[in-house]
Amino acid sequence: MTMKLVKTNGRNHDFLSLVKLLDQDLHERYGDLQKEYTPHNQLDDIHDVVLIYKDGVAAACGAFKEFDSSTIELKRIFVEKAFRGQGLSKEIVRQLEQTGAEKGYAAAVLETGTKQHEAISLYKSAGYSAIPNYGPYIGKSASLCMKKSLINKEN
C-alpha cells in the first residue's frame, strides 16, 4: 500500500470531505452537545493542512491555525475508520508540529473531547500535557485542552 503525504490549505476538497466525516463522528459521540463546538471548528483561519493518502485515497487529515504569535492550535485531526490503527494520526501530528516549528512557533495547543479516548492517548504519547481549558473551552466539562513545547525537541 503506497502512502503519500500532501501539505495543502483549508480549501482542499479531500480535507473538506474528511472534515465532514469527522463532524459526523463527533455528533455520534456527543449528540446535540456537539452543536456548541461547531462555531470553534470553522475553517476560515486554516491555512496549514496535512493530508495522508493511502493508495490514492484520502485517509487522514489534520491542520493548525495560529493561536497567538508563538503558538499554533492543532485542529481537525481525523483518520477515516478504514485506515485507523496504522499510525497515521501520529504522522499527521508530527508533520503539523514540524511545520509549526519551521514557521517559528514555540508551542502547540489543542482541544479534544473527553470521550475521544484514542485522541487523548495519541496526544499524551506525543508529549502533550493537560492545561487549563482556554478561550471558548473554559467551563466546558466535555473538553480537555493540552499543550506541548516545539522548541529543541525532535518532533
Summarize pLDDT for 48-69 with one digit per residue, the tens. Answer: 999 999 999 999 999 999 999 9
- Whether 155 is covered by a domain: the verdict is no
- Whether 154 is covered by a domain: the verdict is no
- Whether 115 is covered by a domain: the verdict is yes
- Whether 61 is covered by a domain: the verdict is yes
pTM (two decimals): 0.91
Q: What is the domain-level CATH number for residue 136?
A: 3.40.630.30
23 CB contacts (<8 Å, ≥6 apart)? 34, 41
Instruction: Quote the number of domains for the chain.
Output: 1
- Whether 42 is covered by a domain: the verdict is yes
Query: What is the rounded CA–CA span in Å between residue 54 and residue 86?
Result: 11
From edge to edge, which strands make up the β-sheet containing 3-8? Answer: 3-8, 48-54, 57-68, 71-79, 107-113, 143-149, 129-131
The overall average pLDDT reported for the chain is 91
- Whether 107 is covered by a domain: the verdict is yes
Q: Show the domain range for 43.
A: 3-149
- Whether 77 is covered by a domain: the verdict is yes
Which amino acid is it at 151?
A: I
Residues of the chain with pLDDT under 50: 153-155
pLDDT attached to residue 154: 47
- Whether 139 is covered by a domain: the verdict is yes
Residue 117 backbone phi and psi in degrees, to 5: -60, -35
154 CB contacts (<8 Å, ≥6 apart)? none
pLDDT attached to residue 30: 81
pLDDT attached to residue 38: 64
